[in-house]
Amino acid sequence: MNIVAKHTSNFSPISLKDMDGVKLMNRTDTKFAFSANKLLELFNQLIPFYDVLEIDGKRIHSYKSLYFDTEGRKFYNDHHNRRVNRHKIRFREYVDSGLIYLEVKCKNNKKKTIKKRLRVDKIADSLTQDQKKYVDDIIGDSLKVMPIQWINFSRITLVHKQKKERLTIDVNLDYHNDDFSGDLRKLIIAEVKQERMSRSSDFIRIAKEMKIYPIRISKYCYSSMQLDSSLKMNRFKEKQIFINKITQE
């Protein structure tokens, strides 16, 4: 972690308040996955174009998430089967800012990600009646959900100096349920968040030059595969091979 923190020291800082204009709760997302070995070179090239989020002197922030799904794993299977209008439900704690939310992410048929969230006091292993109603109203259905697994990681958030664009870089990812655990500490997952997809992004240009390419990857689905071998995963096999190759570099 100290090495990664050192890599961020040359970026100019931006505060949480200054980020209000790039919350991008309704957005397009483009994800990238690459080896941690490329992170220093990537940062050096991004410095002229991006500022880094700093909270209380910290530029790397911890996230803890508890994901919910149905007993039949509807949300996982919807993603695996490439259904449009799919959802994810989680409690997420933004550790360094002291905020906890119940979050519902929706991916619609226009490839837009819409995130809605409700501030809560704590991460719980069940939804209250009011929280369930909140989720049901967003999803448009009444589903019985339960806690499935934890996903924890550290995040560096970069904000473009001129464009309405945010870039998150996730490191030190680990996951666990009641029985098993795993991690992806050699893998970096970056995500460009924009109002609408634009290839003019400086990150996308630099990533291409560094042979870092877009990949559709879900932390929830990938970790689910590792924690539960009974799940359908044939459509994720190619991505698993790709990620295994990266983590062996």
Residue 75's pLDDT is: 97
Q: Work out the pLDDT band at 27, boundaries 50, 70, 90.
A: low
For 65, the 3-state DSSP assignment is: strand
Closest to 26 in 3D by CA, of 98, 151, 112: 112
Beta-sheet strands, E only, within the chain: 13-14, 26-35, 50-53, 61-69, 86-94, 99-107, 113-119, 146-160, 165-176, 181-184, 187-194
Cα–Cα distance for residue pair 154/171, rounded to 1 Å: 5
Q: What is the CATH number of domain 10-247?
A: 2.40.320.10
| Cα 124–chain centre separation | 20
Closest to 239 in 3D by CA, of 63, 38, 31, 89: 31
Q: Work out the pLDDT band at 100, boundaries 50, 70, 90.
A: very high
Eight-state DSSP code of residue 12: P
Residue 193's pLDDT is: 87
Residue 205's pLDDT is: 94
Residue 113's pLDDT is: 84
Q: Work out the pLDDT band at 22, boundaries 50, 70, 90.
A: low
Half-sphere exposure of 126 (CA within 13 A, CB side): 3
Instruction: Tell me the torsion sign for CA atoms 138, 83, 177, 244.
Output: negative
Indicate whether 242 pLDDT > 60: yes
Residue 197's pLDDT is: 65
Indicate whether 20 pLDDT > 70: no
Entry pTM: 0.90
Eight-state DSSP code of residue 74: H
Question: Which position has the higher pLDDT, 226 or 108?
Answer: 226
Q: Are 192 and 42 in contact (CB under 8 A)?
A: no
Q: 140 in the Ramachandran plot: left (φ > 0), alpha (ψ -120 to 50) or beta? A: left
Closest to 204 in 3D by CA, of 140, 249, 160: 160
Residue 86's pLDDT is: 94
Q: Work out the pLDDT band at 28, boundaries 50, 70, 90.
A: confident
**Structure-token match 């961020």, residue found:** 8
Q: Work out the pLDDT band at 177, boundaries 50, 70, 90.
A: very high
The type of residue at 81 is N
Indicate whether 201 pLDDT > 80: yes
Indicate whether 133 pLDDT > 80: yes
Contacts by 201-206, CB closer than 8 A, 24 or more apart: 201/160, 201/163, 201/165, 202/46, 202/49, 202/50, 202/160, 203/46, 203/49, 203/50, 203/158, 203/165, 203/167, 204/30, 206/42, 206/45, 206/46
